[in-house]
Every structure is written in C-alpha cells, then in structure tokens.
Structure 1
Amino acid sequence: MFELGAADWQAIQLTLRLCFLTTLILLIIATPLAWWLASGRSALRVVVQTIVALPLVLPPTVLGFYLLVALGPRGPIGATLESMGFSHLAFSFEGILLASVLYSMPFAVQPLLEAFNNLGRRPVEVASTLGAGVIDRFFTVILPMCRGGFIVAATLSFAHTVGEFGVILMLGGSIPGETKVLSVLIYDHTEAMNYASAHRLSLLLLVFSFLVLFVVYSMNRRFQVARV
C-alpha cells in the first residue's frame, strides 16, 4: 500500500531540498528582521510587519502570479538577469526557492518576534555592559534564551514549505526534478485519476503535519513551564 515509485521519491527529495534551503535562508533573514521589529523605534515597523505578514491572508496564486510576472523573461527582474547573461527565474528551482522564502516568511518572523519580545532588552544590555560584543551577545544570551522561538520558527518554516502549492504551481509549473514538489505531484496524480498514489502521498503529508504541530505545541508548553 505504501510502496512509492521513482517519481514519488524524486518529488520527496526535491521537496526536502527546497524545505531545508528555505528554512536556512529564512532563519538568516528573519533573525535580524525580527530583532529590529522587536527593539526598533522606526515608524516603518508597522509597514514592514504588515508586508511580512501578507502571505498569511494573500492567496498564494496572487503572490505566484506577480512573482511569475517579475521573474519571467519579460519581467523587470527576469529581463535584467537575461541581459546580464543569466537565465530568468520562472519555472526553475531557484525561482520556487525565492517564492518559498517570501511565502513562508511570517512563519519564521512571528515566532522569533514573540521570543524577542518576551526576552526584552535588559539581558542584552547587561551583557553589553559586561563587554560582550554583538556576536557574543547573540550566541551567549539571545540564542540560548530564545531557543524555543528558533525551534518553532525552523519547524514551522520547514513544514509550511512542504505544504506550499499555489505559489509553486504558478511560478514553477510541474517540471520533474526541477519544480515538481510533493504537493504538485499529488495534484498531478489526482488530475490523472491516480487516486492510489495521491492517497499514499497525501497520507504521508497528513502524518507529517500532525507530527509537526505536535512537536510545536509540545515545545511551546515545555518552554512556558520552564519560564514559570
């Protein structure tokens, strides 16, 4: 019943690669962004926070459409890349990677923002008065005290990327080994009325989603108890 074919394994490997790179990039980008949102005083904070949270309410096909327009051969970014001797990013792995980073951004920023807000500025200020530099403060104060936020951010970013469909299909299409991730393959199986294969992959993602949420809620409860 759970025997997977070569196309299924190819989609699984591509999905895992996309999820790992998306999560890594998001943690690098979201950490300073969330810290700025938590501690900054700029009037632009509300604007930036609104832009970051847009994927939570924006239909993924809308984001995928505008990315396709921008990154395609006639778009401002795609055309510029082609004029420089590079390929445009539509219907490519690099394109869906960029789309995944943008679409999963709030799932990385929000947990980190909450963790930094709970931390406050005092621990960092105390470490600074003791002579700790920026990097030292991050690894000895912020990272240990906000590790729960980082774990949740990484877990949700990874899991959300697994479930992405609309933005991937709009920008990447369904190219085996390049853009055909698990969610797109399930759609293809269903469209071809290959319900057995669609069921196997859907059940796999259902179990994975349950485990991810279980881990996230367990982590939240654990760190809430630890703070008490």
Structure 2
Amino acid sequence: MFGLTAADLTAYWITLKLATVGTVVLVVLATPLAWWLARTKWKGRIVVETLVALPLVMPPTVMGFYLLVLFGPHGWVGGLLESLGYRHLAFTFTGIVIGSMFFSLPFVVHPLQNAFASTGIRVSEVANTLRASPWDRFVSVILPLSRRGFLSAFVLSFAHTFGEFGMILMIGGSIPGATKVASIAIYDHVETMNYGAAHSLSLLLVASSFILLMLIFALNRRYKVAGMA
C-alpha cells in the first residue's frame, strides 16, 4: 500500500498500539495524582510538581538510559522480576509502554490538574449539600466539568508517544514486530538511503496525525457548543 512494506505496516501498528495503550493506562493512573495536586495545600507539592514536569526538559535518551538500567536484568525492577521467575522489561513492548508513560506524564497531569482546579471547590460543596458521596461527586460532577481537560490530556499524550524516538530506541531497541515503532523504521530507511520508503511511512504518520487532530477539534467544538446550549 503506497510503497509500504509489511514491516512498515507492522511498525505503524505497534506505534498505534503503544500510543493507545500507554495513553489510556496513563490517563487512568494519573487522574488521582492530578486531582491531589489540584486540591492539596501541602507545601512540599512543589517537589512532586517538579518531578512530574522533569520529562519536559530531560533529553529522551537520558530517561531511556536510566529506564533501561532500571528495567534491565541487573536493575532493581528487572532483577526483581527475574528473581520471581519473570522476564525483565528491557527490549519488550511492556517496557516501552511503561517508558512512554513516564515520558508523557506531564502531558497528562498538567491538563487534568488545570481542569480540576478550574472546577473550583464550590461545585463539590453544593453536591455535598445534596448528600452526594465523594465518589459520586467526582464521577457525576467533576469528571463531566473536566472533560475538555481529559480530551487535551489524551491528545497530548497520544501525539507525544506517537512520534517518540530516542527514549523508545534506548529502552526497546529496534526489534521488528515487538518494539520497532514507525519513527525508528523511518530512521532505518533513511540510514539505508531508502528515501522512498521513508517518505511513504512519513506520509502515513502525517495523515494519521492530521485525522486525529481534526477529530479532536470537531469533538472540542461539539463540547463547546453543548456547553453554551
């Protein structure tokens, strides 16, 4: 299809799977952290916020290197897994999913934190007067009011993972059918002077990104119109 090989399509599929799985899991896990950061008055919060924002300024290869050490057979996590009879996480799909979640953390936490902060405390207090439980208040009131924040978090995380290269290459390598994503496949094509294949795969990524953004803008406009109605 359009000069794409089976290996290119496999790399593209792995990219989509990585971005989707990593984003969905990260949004679920990061929501409590974002809620806590939006509500807590603890002075030490700045330390947590700094750690969350660290991937914004840290070179991808640096984070990938330390995750490789951590997840490898001699690292804390990888060594523990192997002692329990499991395989370490370096150069595995699970490893690059976890790595992408660490690297995309600020792109999820910050939009959610801002969305939760913008809802204000007054809304929860009103729901409390109606005898709504904390969980009911969060699900029935806070989440609907924060849907645009969730939409932004999903888009930013998905797009960030979709085009990631350095961190994934460090922790996952370039294993066809397992950890070789589209960005790495493009790099390999360029290295072998196969510009036609690199061009075809790059166009596929550009088209996918365009369609994703167009859908997001359409949903965002729909939410905005519904909110004004």
Q: TM-score, normalised by structure 2?
A: 0.91
Q: Give the 5 Å matches for 1:43-82.
A: 43-82=43-82
SS at structure 2 position matched to 1:121: helix
User: In structure 2, what is the equivalent of residue 182 of structure 1?
Assistant: 182
Letter in 2 for 1:203: L
| Higher deviation after alignment, 160-169 or 71-80 | 71-80
Identity %: 57
Q: Is the 8 A contact 1:34 1:112 kept in 2?
A: yes
User: In structure 1, what is the equivalent of residue 90 of structure 2?
Assistant: 90
> 1:126: Cα distance to partner?
1.3
> Deviations along 1:138-183, whole A, 9 cap, x unmatched?
2210111111111111111111111111000000000011100111
Structure 1 distance, partners of 2:110, 2:6, is 37
Q: Give the 5 Å matches for 1:1-228.
A: 2-213=2-213, 226=227
SS at structure 1 position matched to 2:148: helix
> Deviations along 1:19-57, whole A, 9 cap, x unmatched?
111111111111111111111111221111111111111
Structure 1 distance, partners of 2:13, 2:176, is 11
Structure 2 distance, partners of 1:24, 1:44, is 28
| Higher deviation after alignment, 216-225 or 41-50 | 216-225
Letter in 2 for 1:80: L
SS at structure 1 position matched to 2:103: helix
Structure 2 distance, partners of 1:209, 1:12, is 12
Letter in 1 for 2:99: A
Structure 1 distance, partners of 2:221, 2:47, is 31
| Higher deviation after alignment, 205-214 or 40-49 | 205-214
Number of residues paired by the alignment?
A: 228
> 1:70: Cα distance to partner?
0.9
SS at structure 2 position matched to 1:90: coil
Letter in 2 for 1:88: H
> Deviations along 1:84-122, whole A, 9 cap, x unmatched?
111111101111011010001111111111111211111
SS at structure 2 position matched to 1:41: coil
Q: Which runs of 5+ in 1 are unaligned?
A: none
Structure 2 distance, partners of 1:210, 1:45, is 37
Q: Is the 8 A contact 2:165 2:183 kept in 1?
A: yes
Q: 1:115 to 1:220 in 2, by over 3 A?
A: farther
> 1:135: Cα distance to partner?
2.4
Structure 2 distance, partners of 1:22, 1:66, is 19
Letter in 2 for 1:94: T
Q: 1:111 to 1:223 in 2, by over 3 A?
A: farther
> Deviations along 1:191-222, whole A, 9 cap, x unmatched?
11111111111122223334545565676677
Structure 2 distance, partners of 1:28, 1:161, is 16
